[in-house]
Amino acid sequence: MEPHIAQRTGVGIGAIVEQQQALEFKRLFIDRPLLVMVERGAKIVRWAGGEYLIRAGEAVAIAGGQALDVVNRPPERGSYRARWLACDEHLIAAHAAQHPEQPTIRHALAIVEPCAEFGAAFHRAIHAIDDASVPIAIAQHRVAETLLWMGLNGGRFGSAAADMLTAKVRRLIMTDLANEWSAPSVAAALAMSESTMRRKLADENATLTEIVSDTRMSFALNLLQSTQHSVTQIACDVGYKTPSHFAARFHQRFGFSPTAIRRRLADQYRAASMADG
């Protein structure tokens, strides 16, 4: 099956990340809580005052509403590979209400020795998101089971980030990335005055222009890692009329070109083609 990002309303979102070379993503905004299981290579998650190294077979739970530095490092041979799960916010809230005694994850939680049952629950949840033949009640149960296992491993997700205006603006932009978002249109959609919106964003050290650009770039990165869509198609999907303009903005944001994520794999295909010829 072609790599893709699976989404199911009321359940969650899941995908596989493939990356061909070691790259560092500075100030990567995590808009919603994520549970990531590394299958090949290693992942570094770094924030002010803390850092985790997550190896193959381990997992990390990352709280939403924060910017982190992330490094995905492939093994000596082959590509970096991980699966990620973003649970529906209502399932997260229900779990939090049922288990207030569990510590809330503020930045990240490393799960360094997950038991086999934890991994099995995680993969069942991913499968239920991707397979519409699984009844939605069962799919929600599988995600809830994964949250239970995560709680037994040291923490639960909170929902405080949802109150931040930055997060609300990012969610609005995500509904139509190609739209020419303006301050009046965003303020109107959020039912507030433009001046109030600007002031509240400033209180969170953000501007609308920065949020729109970063939301587009973050989603583009997601597509580059989790799908086989062409750079041209991804540029169009996130609101850029030309691949060159998109590539320039992407390089400005992350410090490398969009093709860097896939380059080694492309080189391998090219070498194989030359050998066959």
DSSP labels, 57-68: T-EEEE-SSEEE
Residue-level pLDDT at 275: 47
Question: Are 189 and 148 spatial neighbours (Cβ–Cβ below 8 Å)?
Answer: no
Tell me phi and psi for residue 242, to 5 degrees. -130, 145
Assess whether pLDDT exceeds 80 at residue 1.
no
H or E stretch including 5? Answer: strand 5-8
Place of tokens 């169009």: 236
Give the chain's radius of gyration (CA, Å).
19
Residue-level pLDDT at 266: 45
- If you ran DSSP here, which 8-state letter would residue 6 be given? E
Please give the average per-residue pLDDT across 47-51, as a whole number: 93
Question: Are 47 and 25 spatial neighbours (Cβ–Cβ below 8 Å)?
Answer: no
Please give the average per-residue pLDDT across 120-136, as a whole number: 97
Contact partners, residue 113, CB within 8 Å, separation at least 6 = 58
Please give the average per-residue pLDDT across 174-183, as a whole number: 93
Assess whether pLDDT exceeds 70 at residue 160.
no
Please give the average per-residue pLDDT across 165-171, as a whole number: 91
H or E stretch including 213? Answer: helix 208-226
- Domains within the chain, CATH numbers bracketed: 5-158 (2.60.120.810), 164-265 (1.10.10.60)
Residue-level pLDDT at 164: 83
Question: Are 231 and 258 spatial neighbours (Cβ–Cβ below 8 Å)?
Answer: yes
- Confidence band (pLDDT; 50, 70, 90) for 20? confident
Assess whether pLDDT exceeds 60 at residue 270.
no
Contact partners, residue 68, CB within 8 Å, separation at least 6 = 27, 28, 30, 45, 46, 47, 62, 107, 108
- Confidence band (pLDDT; 50, 70, 90) for 261? confident
Tell me: the pLDDT tens digits for 190-202?
Answer: 999 999 999 999 9
- Confidence band (pLDDT; 50, 70, 90) for 268? very low
Contact partners, residue 51, CB within 8 Å, separation at least 6 = 44, 45
Tell me: the pLDDT tens digits for 79-97?
Answer: 999 999 999 999 999 999 9
Residue-level pLDDT at 159: 66
Residue-level pLDDT at 227: 93
H or E stretch including 43? Answer: strand 42-47
Please give the average per-residue pLDDT across 245-258, as a whole number: 95
